[in-house]
Structure 1
Amino acid sequence: MGQHGKAGIRNSNKAPNLQRFSHHLLVCAFATPVFTTIIIWATSVHAADITTIAAARTAYNIPAGPLESALNRYGREAGILLSYPTELTAGRHSQGLTGTHSVQEALPLLLAGTGLAATAQPGGGWTLVKQNESNKTLEEVTVSADWLGSPTPKAAKKHPGARTVITNQELTESGARTVEDVLRTVPGVRVLDESGTGILPNIGVRGLNPLRSEQVLVLVDGIPITLAPYGQTGLSLFPLTMNSIETVDVAKGGVAVHYGPNNVGGVINFVTKRIPQKTSLTFKETLSFAPNSQLLTDSYLRVGGFVNDKLGLQIQANVINGNSARAHSKTAVNNLMLDANWFVTDTAEIRAGLQYYKTENELPGALTPQSYERNRNQSTRPLDQFNGDTVRGHLIYNQYFDNGAELSWTNFGHKSNREFIFGNSTNADIASTQKQSAPRNFLVYGSEPRFTFNIDGGIKQKISVGARYMREEVDYLVDARTLATGAYTVSRNWRFENDAYAIYMSDTFMLLDNKLKITPGIRREQIDLYYRNHLTGAQTRNPTTDWLPGLDVGYQANNEVFLFANIHKSMRPVQFTQITFAADLASEKAQNYEAGIRWAPTKNIDTTLTAFRFDFDNKLEFVNQMVGFRNLGKARHQGVETEFAWRPEQILGLELKTGYTYVDTKQLSGAFFGKELPLAAHHQFNQRINYRTGSWNWNLNGLYQSESFSDGANTVTENATGSIGKISSYSVWNAQITHNLRWSNKKIKAGLAINNLFNRDYYFRGVDYSQGRLPAPGRTALLSLQIDI
């Protein structure tokens, strides 16, 4: 399915009334990130002629399938203008159209069961609207083969769990260049940037430890981005640049059955830019200026479109070069993405993508408290570097059936390498005597078919059945070279393999005229980890099997109130490195509970209140070098989230959004029983103020994060290296002014942003080898220019 709504004109015998006016018609298409129309200027067509066209009868044979595909074909054959927002047709299906009909007869038949209606426009043409906009009935909630459905704010309002969708317009207007900038306005989400330039984000949700993003499932277009989604859940390579992203979909509840392991914190799906219907070119340049004259450039090029009615192609290229404000921060990123979309038939499509990503970076690393106070922009770790590259591909086949059933078959794989290079001193002020490296090589591929169908008996049902196989192969090396003598040693040379099998099923019962939807489901994961130590010959296997049940409930009480609740069992698989002690280990498990209400008392106010709880059981903890890892840990996370959005009628163009998250955590076993979990701040406030007037947009967004502990012992006093101790609270604000203009038929968007507007000094604790205070970026000015042709 193409991204944008369109309708065509075809001069054929099926549209004789248009032929005599064809020399008067000028077709002009324009597109924005959220709306696309085809406008027909009829210079000589009078009202009587339009009435004649609408009443003309034409023979059709349009099969059932995706609504957008059916509308595209109908527009061409009928020779009429249809306009609609892109998000309106996403996830909806048409029962098709056969026989001879006028426009007035055909459109209701084509739209039957979709929850949409067509309204005639005074100057000619038709516009699609929701039925509740014309007859005040409740909008139908669609359930597509993908459990989350369309990545739109309107779809998020009907999801039976906490969910936030960040639109392309919000991404553009907020000056968001990195993942940290993008997710700053999402309640309950915390991002720590390890590199200072955005290439290594660490993401945590609702008090879960953000280091390496190990407890949240990160996807790109529904496909896991993690190097080894089962055996090594940490995101030690993040092969994504934000210029290639259209929307970001954050679902924190009700996802475990459909999306697999490592989702106690939910799912974050980065949706890449779709192929536009009309061939277009986009160029964007962003310059980031630090106060000490350091410069980081971010160059982006996109070319794509449909070469005919069946085939769309697109290429995206993103190059990042330069330095942050800190010393030893040289960064180079090259990201190339190729996409294809082929409509094989009116009811079948193939989507394919290929990506090459390469990054080479100096890492400024953490500082001791003393060095931080002297100069937070210095680096005392001259050996630290990070390099990585990956080739990733996917092939997706979608088949739509006359009865509304869908078959989706996703195939994906990647071959990746990543390497950290670092000194052997954990005290950043003491020179290292060795240069160590930790290269990893990954080969991962998987296949996931999914079939969704309806049962229209006494109780309407939507059943989804799926399966997945994934293969992971990892070569794991740790070596060191003594700087004084050049002596070379290898301390680890390991091989890991994994075969993972999953099956899942859910059944959505639609009751009370579709106002109440109850979805029980279950998932079975079977994981077989294998380990071999090439240095000693030791090897072991660790097979585990887990059943993960879930239940989701959504109730549309009336047009203003939506209630939801869900309970899921989630799991994080045993990790590769945890089986090196030859122990029989089980996956970490958590019981997730969530309940909430969305209330829109007026068209200008949206509110959400959500309560959540995670009960961890079977957590893996390191005992000692003799014992290794054991399933000992129990822990609890609980809290509430609120969101409030207001668009005051008195000030058109103004939108205010605020969010608040309260998290309470407790360790329920082990030596630190009763203490808080690390990096689990109690309070988080998110703010976004946006004002649009004419071609100008003014945006201010901010985050407040309360203090937190950096270790399980809840140590308050910071030690000499800065590796433990309480982390202070902080607040940070970003601001951007955006101006849209046209020049020589080109759309131009210019932006000026100031990130960390008040130049706040804040830090978090170092990651892995780099122990100490890791400074967050200071005040930075961003100048951006985008040209669309």
Structure 2
Amino acid sequence: MNLLRNPLIFGALLSSTAALAQSDKQPEEVLVTGGKDAILSLGGSAQLIDETMLDQFDFSDLNQVMSTLPGVYIREEDGYGLRPNIGIRGATSERSQKITIMEDGILITPAPYAAPAAYYIPNISRMSAVEVVKGPAAIVHGPHTVGGAINFASRPISEERESEIDLSYGTDNYQKAQFFSSETVGEFGYAIDLLRFSGDGFKELDGGGDTGFERNDINVKLSWKPQGGSEKNHAFTLKLGYADEDADETYLGLTEADFDDDPYRRYRASQLDHFTSEHSQLHLGHSFDLNDSISVSSAVYWHQFDRSWNKLDGFIDGVAIRDVFANPDIFTRELGILRGEINSNGSDADMLDVTNNDRQYGSYGAQTAMKMQFSQGDIDHNLDVGLRIHSDYVERDHSIRGYLMTDGAMINDGQQRGDKELNEASADAIALYVSDTLSWRDFKLTVGLRHEEIDGDADDDLAGTSNSKSQSETLPGVSLYWQYTENLGLLAGVNRGFSPASPSASSGVDPELSTNYEYGLRYQNQNLSLEAIGFFSDYENLLGRCRASDTNCNAGEEFNGGEAEIAGVEVLGQWSHQLSDALTGEVMLSYTYTETAFQSDFSSSFSQWGEVEAGDELPYIPEQIARLQLGAKATRWEAYVAFSYQSEMRDVAGSEPIGQVTHTDAYTTVDASASWFVDQNWTLQLSVDNLLDEEAVVSLRPFGARPNKPRTLRLRVKYAF
């Protein structure tokens, strides 16, 4: 690890950086960061994407939204962001399992303790803001604090009547329709948000067939603010939500040769792959002011998520698909069966394994937080105290069916093959945090402490085994912010990172633990906003978790990776200038540089690690990520173009030059958008994703090369009334 230990390199990067300036348009919901003004003097790093920024390109793909921020790593999968893989500061991006994800400050992933893989994340199209919190600032947002937290702020209830119809149509029959209406009348308010979007998919299934998706999302908010003369400003909110998905998606990719010939091809062996899900949520909140200095907010919540993923999982008793793709010249028969060019002979070695990964998740809990302001002499205190009692569970029933490839069609063999997995896991957790920000002159010192108490149980019905696991961790953090001049601020901090092991993990598997350091600067004047932060994460134990699609391990099985180090620099900035009386120009830059290294030798059956030697780099973490956005704004129109770059990523841990081992491609994409404000009610927008039609291998897991989304046009019409 050379970056943070070489002050000349770090200093050069600091001197050329720039950071995000927030627009004035903020949601009325309480943000976990406190909003743009609080971020500017926060003793820790955080960024906020507000509604104005979300509207610039109107992305429905969360991956595209999150790639605008530094320190956030994206691994694309399906091209539409249906199941994002997001990591923060080197924490694995694999199904976003190592970050805390919230909606309106409430844990939203299906089972964040018992099964943290985020197979459900809210649709970005119904959000008014996205916050990312990292470093010491993230300790109030557990359980996962090794990297950071993401909070999605849904659209707030309006004081005045507001209604909107938003329609989009694009390439591959992309359709999006959204209706929003909100109003407050006297003591009562409401917001209704109806969303549906779909597409036919950009891949072509050999022999024909569906490759697209459909999503529906219905959300209702109700509020009551009694006006009976109380000075405590009581407010009650009820939020109800339902979302579903029906997608003909697959994990099956292509061989290198077939990808080079046609990256958007799909083999016939994926013709039965199909994902369906339903998500329901209920949030009931209450807030009030005890007095001018103390406010309390509380919530109870319930979530249910059911999913079924019918997908190709390999051959019943044959070679692994990854081995077929790694050696296509050797396993020509198996590859022919996957392509649908060779018929199965009836043996289990030729029989295709299609597994229905049926799972049910649930989570529920209650949380409360108190904010208190007081002074002691010249020192002002902002004290935050919070408590959450939470339970979640997952039930897995993965059933196997055998299929013969016959003249390009998959024919069920009629045999009852039983279950591949039949298990359940649950977790009960109590989380408590306290954080105090002490302000004195130009200094802000934040001292915080988080405690997680977790009890988990797991039952494997096939193996006839049961397991219990208890974890108790106290996680301190401290940060300092110094307003050095009117425009320049300096910050530094350290915190304890934690990601719990699952209930099914054996007694020999430890939770993920790290010590995280950060330091940097913020600069802001009338036209320019600059931020550069260096980070260094020293892992005592890295935790690997097997997914159902991984080979040589069981779904949910966990592995200790021992000591590891991750270091990097985040750069973020925005510059705006009045070019004329009617025209404003904007430039926005985001850049991340990252180095990683295991610190010990070990052998693992976790396929992404394998045989590891000290100094090996971690897989699926790009060395460089960059995004440059240029924009022009006038009274009646605005236009933007964004250049995004991500360097290659190694598929398996190692130290060889990346060009000599299996890796994803480095690629650059260009997105463009232009909007015309016809009048105060009508807006027209034309957007082009991947303008230059860049083709790249963005993932090699679990089975073969998969592409990014090709050039896609979208025409949008929005009517507000």
What is the TM-score normalised by the length of structure 1? Answer: 0.76
> How many Å apart are 1:672 and its aligned residue?
2.8
Question: Could you say which residue in structure 1 is the equivalent of 2:674?
Answer: 737
Question: Could you say which residue in structure 1 is the equivalent of 2:198?
Answer: 321
Query: 1:185–1:701: 8 Å Cα contact kept in structure 2?
Result: no
Question: Could you say which residue in structure 1 is the equivalent of 2:178?
Answer: 300
SS in 2 for 1:727: coil
Question: Could you say which residue in structure 1 is the equivalent of 2:207?
Answer: none
Question: Could you say which residue in structure 2 is the equivalent of 1:774?
Answer: 706
Structure whose CA Rg is larger = 1
Question: Could you say which residue in structure 1 is the equivalent of 2:682?
Answer: 748
SS in 2 for 1:392: strand
Question: Could you say which residue in structure 2 is the equivalent of 1:636?
Answer: 565
Question: Could you say which residue in structure 2 is the equivalent of 1:222?
Answer: 105
Aligned AA (1:740):
F
Q: 1:383 aligns with which of 272, 294, 301?
A: 272
> How many Å apart are 1:718 and its aligned residue?
9.0
Question: Could you say which residue in structure 1 is the equivalent of 2:478?
Answer: 551
Q: 1:683 aligns with which of 624, 627, 632?
A: 624
Question: Could you say which residue in structure 1 is the equivalent of 2:129?
Answer: 247
CA offsets 1:667-709 (integer angstroms, 9 cap, x no match): 1122332111111211121111110012110101121111221
Q: Percent identity?
A: 22
CA offsets 1:624-643 (integer angstroms, 9 cap, x no match): 879x7554511111011222
> How many Å apart are 1:147 and its aligned residue?
5.5
Change in 2 beyond 3 A, CA 1:684/1:382:
same
Aligned AA (2:699):
R
Question: Could you say which residue in structure 1 is the equivalent of 2:244?
Answer: 358
Aligned AA (1:688):
Q
Aligned AA (1:463):
L
CA offsets 1:55-91 (integer angstroms, 9 cap, x no match): xxxxxxxxxxxxxxxxxxxxxxxxxxxxxx6659987
Query: 2:565–2:596: 8 Å Cα contact kept in structure 1?
Result: yes
CA offsets 1:232-287 (integer angstroms, 9 cap, x no match): 2211223x222211111122222332111213221121111111112221111111
CA offsets 1:368-421 (integer angstroms, 9 cap, x no match): 212212211111122222111111111111111223201111211101111222
Q: 1:599 aligns with which of 520, 523, 527?
A: 523
SS in 2 for 1:648: strand
1:617 to 2:554 alignment: no
Q: 1:663 aligns with which of 591, 594, 597?
A: 594
Question: Could you say which residue in structure 1 is the equivalent of 2:469?
Answer: 542
CA offsets 1:461-480 (integer angstroms, 9 cap, x no match): 12222111111122112210
Question: Could you say which residue in structure 1 is the equivalent of 2:406?
Answer: none
Change in 2 beyond 3 A, CA 1:490/1:400:
same
1:711 to 2:652 alignment: yes
Question: Could you say which residue in structure 2 is the equivalent of 1:434?
Answer: 353
Question: Could you say which residue in structure 1 is the equivalent of 2:370?
Answer: 451
Distance (whole Å) between structure 2 residues aligned to residue 708 and residue 701 of structure 1: 22
CA offsets 1:129-185 (integer angstroms, 9 cap, x no match): xxxxxxxxxxxxxxxxx75212x3x33222222222112111111242211221222
Query: 2:25–2:50: 8 Å Cα contact kept in structure 1?
Result: no
Q: 1:496 aligns with which of 411, 425, 444?
A: 425
Distance (whole Å) between structure 1 residues aligned to residue 443 and residue 275 of structure 2: 50
Q: 1:418 aligns with which of 307, 310, 335?
A: 307
Work out the number of aligned pairs and report it.
629
SS in 1 for 2:359: strand
Question: Could you say which residue in structure 1 is the equivalent of 2:170?
Answer: 288
Q: 1:213 aligns with which of 96, 99, 106?
A: 96
Query: 1:174–1:700: 8 Å Cα contact kept in structure 2?
Result: no
Distance (whole Å) between structure 2 residues aligned to residue 208 and residue 702 of structure 1: 25
> How many Å apart are 1:597 and its aligned residue?
0.6
User: Unaligned regions of 5+ residues in structure 1, if any?
Assistant: 1-33, 36-84, 92-145
Q: 1:485 aligns with which of 400, 405, 413?
A: 413
Distance (whole Å) between structure 2 residues aligned to residue 474 and residue 649 of structure 1: 54
Distance (whole Å) between structure 1 residues aligned to residue 100 and residue 272 of structure 2: 32
Query: 1:261–1:570: 8 Å Cα contact kept in structure 2?
Result: no
Question: Could you say which residue in structure 1 is the equivalent of 2:292?
Answer: 403
SS in 1 for 2:246: strand
Query: 2:223–2:236: 8 Å Cα contact kept in structure 1?
Result: yes
> How many Å apart are 1:564 and its aligned residue?
1.5
CA offsets 1:539-590 (integer angstroms, 9 cap, x no match): 11011111100112222223201222221112111024x52xx435331111
Change in 2 beyond 3 A, CA 1:625/1:315:
closer
> How many Å apart are 1:333 and its aligned residue?
0.6
Distance (whole Å) between structure 2 residues aligned to residue 275 and residue 338 of structure 1: 10
Aligned AA (1:664):
E
Question: Could you say which residue in structure 2 is the equivalent of 1:338?
Answer: 220
Query: 2:280–2:304: 8 Å Cα contact kept in structure 1?
Result: yes
> How many Å apart are 1:535 and its aligned residue?
2.6
Query: 1:350–1:395: 8 Å Cα contact kept in structure 2?
Result: yes
User: Unaligned regions of 5+ residues in structure 2, if any?
Assistant: 1-21, 205-209, 315-320, 326-334, 339-350, 404-411, 547-551, 603-611
Change in 2 beyond 3 A, CA 1:89/1:783:
closer
Distance (whole Å) between structure 1 residues aligned to residue 28 and residue 433 of structure 2: 27
Aligned CA-pair RMSD: 2.4
Q: 1:761 aligns with which of 666, 676, 695?
A: 695
Distance (whole Å) between structure 2 residues aligned to residue 252 and residue 148 of structure 1: 11
SS in 2 for 1:254: helix
Change in 2 beyond 3 A, CA 1:155/1:509:
closer
Query: 1:583–1:629: 8 Å Cα contact kept in structure 2?
Result: no
Distance (whole Å) between structure 1 residues aligned to residue 540 and residue 486 of structure 2: 40
> How many Å apart are 1:736 and its aligned residue?
0.4
CA offsets 1:583-610 (integer angstroms, 9 cap, x no match): 353311111111111112x411111111
Distance (whole Å) between structure 2 residues aligned to residue 679 and residue 309 of structure 1: 53
Query: 2:145–2:496: 8 Å Cα contact kept in structure 1?
Result: no
Change in 2 beyond 3 A, CA 1:417/1:304:
same
Q: 2:148 aligns with which of 254, 263, 266?
A: 266
CA offsets 1:431-459 (integer angstroms, 9 cap, x no match): 36222111111121011111221222213
Query: 2:90–2:147: 8 Å Cα contact kept in structure 1?
Result: no
Distance (whole Å) between structure 2 residues aligned to residue 89 and residue 366 of structure 1: 44
Question: Could you say which residue in structure 2 is the equivalent of 1:148?
Answer: 33
1:529 to 2:456 alignment: yes
Change in 2 beyond 3 A, CA 1:242/1:322:
same
Aligned AA (1:495):
E
Distance (whole Å) between structure 1 residues aligned to residue 443 and residue 632 of structure 2: 37
Query: 1:422–1:437: 8 Å Cα contact kept in structure 2?
Result: yes
Question: Could you say which residue in structure 2 is the equivalent of 1:586?
Answer: 510
Question: Could you say which residue in structure 2 is the equivalent of 1:192?
Answer: 75
SS in 2 for 1:463: strand
Query: 1:255–1:267: 8 Å Cα contact kept in structure 2?
Result: no
Distance (whole Å) between structure 1 residues aligned to residue 261 and residue 32 of structure 2: 52
Change in 2 beyond 3 A, CA 1:88/1:709:
closer
Change in 2 beyond 3 A, CA 1:672/1:479:
farther
Aligned AA (2:124):
M
SS in 1 for 2:135: coil
Q: 2:158 aligns with which of 270, 276, 290?
A: 276
